[in-house]
Structure 1
Amino acid sequence: MPPQLAHIRNWIFDLDNTLYPASADLFGLIDARMTRFIQDLLGLGWDEARRLQKDYFHAHGTTLSGLMAEHGVEPRHFLDYVHDIEMDVLREDRQLVEAVARLPGRKLIFTNGDEAYARRVLAKLGLEESFEAIHDIHACAYEPKPQPRAYERMAEAFGIEPGESLFVEDMARNLKPAKAIGMTTVWVNNGSEQGREPDDRAYVDYEVTDLGAWLHEILGDR
């Protein structure tokens, strides 16, 4: 382990587009169901529902948070609907599975999705036994990343010290609050970033394109 990472005791990973390639476009299936949900809820055409969905995402952190705030949508109903998808596009990545297994310390999932969905994804990826726990949107009390309270709740729930923790995400904006409380941050730059405004990303400690390869590198395999 590189000296600059020797203090890490907690390895925290986002799920979608982080533990599998963004090119799989699994989230694209969910994204489309979110739009259809808004169409049905509000009686809108596809384009208007799509615009509203993205507005809620950028303003509230997730489409769900926007729908809850603006329309009182029941979260479990929404999540059951949007996660009702096939996962045939996912493939096990042995390089990643083996690297995660060898990481020293605790390993956790921190996702804006829900636990049932996350467990289906992890099973398809061969990672179902790799993580101690999943901190999902319900555990966040529906305050999603990148809201600072989401990170505080996660740290409190597992009794972890942020300064001994590393957080991996495909969306750079979700790393900023993690860095603010002392976490080491890793951005998986794979083209899935949905932010509107570029910034200097000074809160990103490591930028990687292949998570499995990077983990093997820090483990001293190459």
Structure 2
Amino acid sequence: MLPRLATIDTWIFDLDNTLYPASANLFQRIDARMTAYVARTLGLDRETAFRVQKDYFLAHGTTLAGLMADHGVDPHEFLADVHDIEMDVLEADAPLAAAIAKLPGRKLVFTNGDKPYALKVLDRLGLGDAFEAIYDVHAMNLVPKPAPSAYAGLCAAFGLDPVRCVFVEDMARNLAPAKAIGMTTVWIDNGSEQGPDEDRSFIDFTVPALAPWLNNILEEA
């Protein structure tokens, strides 16, 4: 193990565009369904709905959080609708599964999606048995990353010492609260959508893909 990470005992991973590459374009399918949901629910044309969707995403962490705050949208209905997509663009990733299996300690998924969707993604990737648990948006009481309460809740739920945790995420802004409580942060800079904040001072590692980085740190003496 890379000496810098020798004391780590918990590995925490975001789901979308982290455990699979953004180039798979799976999340684009969800994005399109979110735009359609906003248009239908608020009676907007597609262009306006897309703008509203992204404004909510930037201001509230997720489109859902904004829709709940301003329009009382049912989160279960919303998540079931936007996650009703084909996952044929995902394939089993044996090298990633092997690398995660070699990591010492606990492994968790920390996602703003819901558990049923996460389980389907993990199954497609061949990672169905790779993680101890999934901490989803419902476990966060529907207050998603990057709200500090989401990270505090994760640590409380699993008895984690943040200083002994690594958090891997494709959304750079979601790493800031993790770093603030002592986690080691890894940004998967693979082209996924980012917010306007250019601050990256809270990122410890910036990598283009997950599996090669995991193999690299495992090979370090």
Amino acid at match of 2:171: M
Counterpart of 1:203 in structure 2 is 202
Counterpart of 2:11 in structure 1 is 11
Amino acid at match of 1:110: F
Does the 8 A contact of 1:115 with 1:134 survive in 2? yes
Deviations 1:176-203 (Å, cap 9, x if unpaired)?
Answer: 000000000000000103211312x111
Q: Secondary structure at the match of 1:160?
A: coil
Q: How far, CA to CA, are the matches of 1:71 and 1:217 in structure 2? A: 46
Q: Secondary structure at the match of 1:219?
A: helix
Aligned length: 221
Q: Which runs of 5+ in 1 are unaligned?
A: none
Deviations 1:132-164 (Å, cap 9, x if unpaired)?
Answer: 000000000011000111100011011111000
Q: How far, CA to CA, are the matches of 1:148 and 1:64 in structure 2? A: 17
Runs of 4+ that moved beyond 2 A: none
Deviations 1:32-76 (Å, cap 9, x if unpaired)?
Answer: 000111111011100000000000000100000000000000100
Percent identity between matched residues is 62
Deviations 1:54-111 (Å, cap 9, x if unpaired)?
Answer: 0000010000000000000010000000000000000122111100011000000000
Counterpart of 1:56 in structure 2 is 56
Counterpart of 1:86 in structure 2 is 86
Amino acid at match of 1:134: I
Does the 8 A contact of 1:172 with 1:193 survive in 2? no
Counterpart of 2:189 in structure 1 is 189
Is 1:109–2:105 an aligned residue pair? no
Counterpart of 2:216 in structure 1 is 217
Amino acid at match of 1:151: Y
Amino acid at match of 2:135: H
Q: How far, CA to CA, are the matches of 2:2 and 2:27 in structure 1? A: 33
Q: How far, CA to CA, are the matches of 2:124 and 2:98 in structure 1? A: 15
Q: How far, CA to CA, are the matches of 1:204 and 1:193 in structure 2? A: 17
1:32-51 equivalences under 5 Å are 32-51=32-51
**TM-score normalised by the chain length of structure 2:** 0.98
Is 1:152–2:152 an aligned residue pair? yes
Amino acid at match of 1:156: A
Does the 8 A contact of 1:144 with 1:150 survive in 2? yes
Q: CA RMSD in A?
A: 1.0
**TM-score normalised by the chain length of structure 1:** 0.98
Amino acid at match of 2:136: D
Q: Secondary structure at the match of 1:119?
A: helix
Task: Quote the offset at 1:221 in angstroms.
Answer: 7.4
Counterpart of 2:100 in structure 1 is 100
Does the 8 A contact of 2:2 with 2:220 survive in 1? no
